[in-house]
Amino acid sequence: MDWLGRAKLSFVTAPRSLPIREKGGKTTSLLEICRATVPPCQLNPLLFNGHAHTMWTAAQKAAPPIHYKRRIFEADHREFNGSFAVDFIVPESEVTGTDDSLPPRTVYFAEDELAGMGSDDDRPMLVILHGLSGGSHEVYLRHAIAPLIESGKWEGCVVNSRGCAKSKITTGILYNARATWDVRQSGVQVVKWLREAYPNRPLFGLGFSLGACILTNYVGEEGSACQLKAAVVCANPWDLQVSNKELGRTFVGHEVYQRVLGTAMRRLSATHKEEIQKYTNVDYDQLTKLTYLYEFDRAYQCPTWGYPTEGAYYRDASSVDSLLAVRIPLLALNAVDDPIASYLALPFGEARQNPYTVLCTTSLGGHLGWFEIGGGRWHGKPVTNFFNHMAFEVDLDSIKPEANGKPELGTSSTRFDPMRRKMHVDFNQGEA
């Protein structure tokens, strides 16, 4: 048992971690940077296990205020067309008035502001992905990014999954754990657009829970061509099939977590009733009667994405294999007592194979809990420290994926491809 909330830390990576050169000329490694930037994990001793930390997230709503302006992106991929919203972090002084159609502290960009977006500055910028049915307003997200934004040295934007954070959908497509296309593929492509609008800004990725799964899949799919300089993923469920089975194995997992997650998706679908009825063959009346998350995935994700069962979707959308294809520095944070992102799904073996990744586990923390005494959230500290070190202390040009990647396993005729998905998405041929 951990003594008075002091969680144990563990770091897992390849025997020879990725070598990295700092701006002063010192040679270090990704593991050494992670050890230096991840502080001791001292949590609230009254929250004595993962269930307590996870359930306390529903009661603890206080978080630093982050202000946004929203830009709507239009995707022009034949299969994944439609719109989604990206919320850009702005100073409080720029958000005047309120808009009840948007989350708190969020307004739309004015037309002249949209036309004038772009800059030649070299400030580092975060691209952030939220968890299931969440958005830029989430408490766990604001706790993590507030220290970076308040320092005045960082910019950031949150890619809201389709239909989330009071965004409208213009087709029957919501999102799923394989939905990397809104990060990569949209009418102007978020990452590509950021590269063009802010050519001198180094981009970094941050994902939470399902957003961590999507971000890991995206980074793995991009491989050595990834435009992000580094990434952090928090509470990634990794193997969705394993995590789903573990939730169904216990009363609390099934009747609390599966029910809460299913209710969130049912409510989300209710806000898009008209579009679902217009653009899909999904039985909307059936959606209103569902209770558990796997029921929603079976009734909605399977028919809209072409999966025969929810299990096939979970296996195909999992990011555990994607970790093997990552070719940028990636820090993964998980609590081993997380009741949603199961310990049994954690990619210890995969992390040991890839020098570009470090899996850091804490013995306490639950699912995106990590509550400290006084209401703070521990995960914001390693996120802040790691990104600040990578952005301001590291010679980012010294990280060359082509030179430092591990050789492929197998022979020329027998080779394991971690990114070979069962649902094929052709991004090159799919543009309208």
Count of residues making up the chain: 432
Based on its alpha-carbon atoms, the radius of gyration of the chain, rounded to whole angstroms, reads 21
Residue 242 contacts by C-beta under 8 Å, 6 or more apart in sequence?
Answer: 342, 344, 345
Q: Tell me the three-class secondary structure of the chain, residue by residue.
A: CCHHHEECEEEECCCCCCEEEECCCCEEEHHHHHHHHCCCEECCCCCCCHHHHHHHCCCCCCCCCCEEEEEEEEECECCCCEEEEEEEEECHHHCCCCCCCCCCCEEECCHHHHHCCCCCCCCCEEEEECCCCCCCCCHHHHHHHHHHHHCCCCEEEEECCCCCCCCCCCCCCCCCCCCCHHHHCCCCCHHHHHHHHCCCCCEEEEEECHHHHHHHHHHHHHHHHCCEEEEEEECCCCCHHHHHHHHHHCHHHHHHHHHHHHHHHHHHHHCCHHHHHHHCCCCHHHHCCCCCHHHHHHHHHHHHHCCCCHHHHHHHHCCCCHHHHCCCCEEEEEECCCCCCCHHHCCHHHHHHCCCEEEEEECCCCCCCCECCCCCECCHHHHHHHHHHHHHCECHHHCCHHHHCCCCCCCCCCCCCCCCCCCCCCCCCCEC
Catalytic residues: 209, 338, 367
65: exposed, middle or buried (Cβ count in 10 Å: 0-12, 13-18, 19+): exposed
Q: For 34, left (φ over 0), alpha (ψ -120 to 50), or beta?
A: alpha
Buried b (16+ CB within 10 A) or exposed e, 298-307: bbbbbebbeb
Nearest to 399 by CA among 9, 3, 19: 19
